[in-house]
Structure formats: structure tokens, C-alpha cells
Amino acid sequence: AQTVTQSQPEMSVQEAETVTLSCTYDTSESNYYLFWYKQPPSRQMILVIRQEAYKQQNATENRFSVNFQKAAKSFSLKISDSQLGDTAMYFCAFMTPVGGTYKYIFGTGTRLKVLA
């Protein structure tokens, strides 16, 4: 069975600094996709970044980048130049096609607080 583990329940970072959120996963599938979602307080969950497992190059989206280590089954999120608006719950998620549909599995989340 696939699992997603986020070992840091809470983190804080000073504004303008860099922070890394960790995520590990377990699967025997070879075709899968990884995501980081952000859920600001009382607001909708939105996609931050995604990574296809077949791509070796790490995905980047502006201040957000990932460190994808396929052999280690690790998928960490780096936030550079942290801003107050980055304060949110961050969920790591794994998706694999199963029987004509997609199976998504989420981690427990990391609550990130950016300090002024």
C-alpha cells in the first residue's frame, strides 16, 4: 500500500529566509506523480507544485522548488524568500493511475508559520 509521511507537524521561518518541508513516500509503482498543496487558514487548498516521477529534473515554480530523490522516495519542498502569505498548512500528495482512474494519497500536513 502507498503511504505518504510528513514528519514535521509544525515549522516556522523568519520572513525572507528559506525553509524546507520534508515528505517521504512508499510505493511499488513506477508511474506516479507527486504534489505539494497549500491550504491557507480558512481558505481553499491550492496546488503549489507538481513533479512527474519519470522526470529527473526537479520542478520549480517561482520561489518554490522541490528536491525529488526517487531512489530514496523523498520529495521535499523548498520555499525561498519566505513571505507572510506563505503561512499555511502544506500537504504532500502522491497520485498513481489505477484501473482507469487516479488514486490520491495525502500526508498529514505541515503547518508553516512565517514570522515577521
Partner 1 sequence: ETGVTQTPRHLVMGMTNKKSLKCEQHLGHNAMYWYKQSAKKPLELMFVYNFKEQTENNSVPSRFSPECPNSSHLFLHLHTLQPEDSALYLCASSRDNLAESSYEQYFGPGTRLTVT
Q: Which residues bind partner 1 (CB under 8 A)?
A: 4, 9, 33, 35, 37, 43-47, 50, 91, 95, 97, 99-109
In the complex with partner 1, the residue whose CB is nearer, 64 or 106, is 106
Shortest distance, position 80 Cβ to partner 1, whole Å:
22
Shortest distance, position 67 Cβ to partner 1, whole Å:
20
Shortest distance, position 39 Cβ to partner 1, whole Å:
8
In the complex with partner 1, the residue whose CB is nearer, 51 or 82, is 51
Shortest distance, position 115 Cβ to partner 1, whole Å:
23
* Torsional sign, CA 53, 77, 11, 41: negative
Tell me which long-range contacts 39-43 makes (C-beta under 8 A, separation of at least 24): 39/88, 39/89, 39/90, 39/91, 39/109, 40/85, 40/87, 40/88, 41/87, 41/88
In the complex with partner 1, the residue whose CB is nearer, 13 or 48, is 48
Tell me how far CA of residue 101 lies from CA of 32, 93, 110, in angstroms: 12, 16, 28
